Amino acid sequence: MPGEVREVVWSAFKMEQAIYKPGFPSPLQWTVRAESEPRRRNLFCPGTVFDAVVEKVRIAGAGLAGLTAAYVLSKANRPVEVYEKKSRLLPSSGPHTEGIRNYRERDVLEELNSFGFDLPPFSTVLATIRVSPRARNVIRGPAHYLFMRGREDHTVDQILFRRAQAAGARFHFDEEIDPADADIAATGPPRDGYNILGAGYSISEAGSDLPRDTAYALFDNEVAPGGYFAITPGIGFHSMYSVSWSELDFDRLLARTEKAFDLPWIREIVGSGKRVGRILGRAYVAPDPISGAVRDGTLLVGEAGGFQDAVAGFGFRYSVITGSLAARSLMEGSDYRALLRDTFGLEFQQASAMREKMNHATNDDYDRMIGALGPEISLKEYMKRREARGF
Is position 43 within any domain? no
Pair 279, 168 in one domain? no
Pair 234, 275 in one domain? yes
Pair 278, 211 in one domain? yes
How do residues 2-47 score in pLDDT, each as one tens digit?
333 333 333 332 232 333 233 333 333 333 333 333 344 554 444 3
CATH number for the domain including 182? 3.50.50.60
Quick one: pLDDT at residue 280? Answer: 93
% of the chain with per-residue pLDDT over 90: 81
How many domains is the chain built from? 2
> How far is 71 from 91, CA to CA, in rounded Å?
17
Residue 344, H or E segment = helix 336-344
Domain that holds residue 64: 56-91+152-191+286-350
Quick one: pLDDT at residue 364? Answer: 98
Fill in the DSSP letter of residue 18.
-
Is position 300 within any domain? yes
Nearest to 293 by CA among 313, 318, 332, 322: 322
**What are the φ/ψ torsions at residue 40 (nearest 5 degrees)?**
-115, 145
Quick one: pLDDT at residue 387? Answer: 74
Q: Rounded to a whole number, what is the largest CA-CA distance in the chain? A: 76
Mean residue pLDDT across the chain: 87
Quick one: pLDDT at residue 389? Answer: 60
Q: What is the pLDDT along the chain (391 residues), one digit of tens a residue?
A: 333 333 333 333 223 233 323 333 333 333 333 333 334 455 444 433 334 334 699 999 999 999 999 999 999 999 999 999 998 887 777 789 999 999 999 999 999 999 999 999 999 999 999 999 999 999 999 999 999 999 999 999 999 999 999 999 999 999 999 999 999 999 999 877 899 999 999 999 999 999 999 999 999 999 999 999 999 999 999 999 999 999 999 999 999 999 999 999 999 999 999 999 999 999 999 999 999 999 999 999 999 999 999 999 999 999 999 999 999 999 999 999 999 999 999 999 999 999 999 999 999 999 999 999 999 999 999 999 887 665 4
> How far is 263 from 75, CA to CA, in rounded Å?
49
Full-prediction pTM beyond 0.75?
Answer: yes
> How far is 309 from 283, CA to CA, in rounded Å?
10
Quick one: pLDDT at residue 94? Answer: 79
Pair 156, 141 in one domain? no
Is position 20 within any domain? no
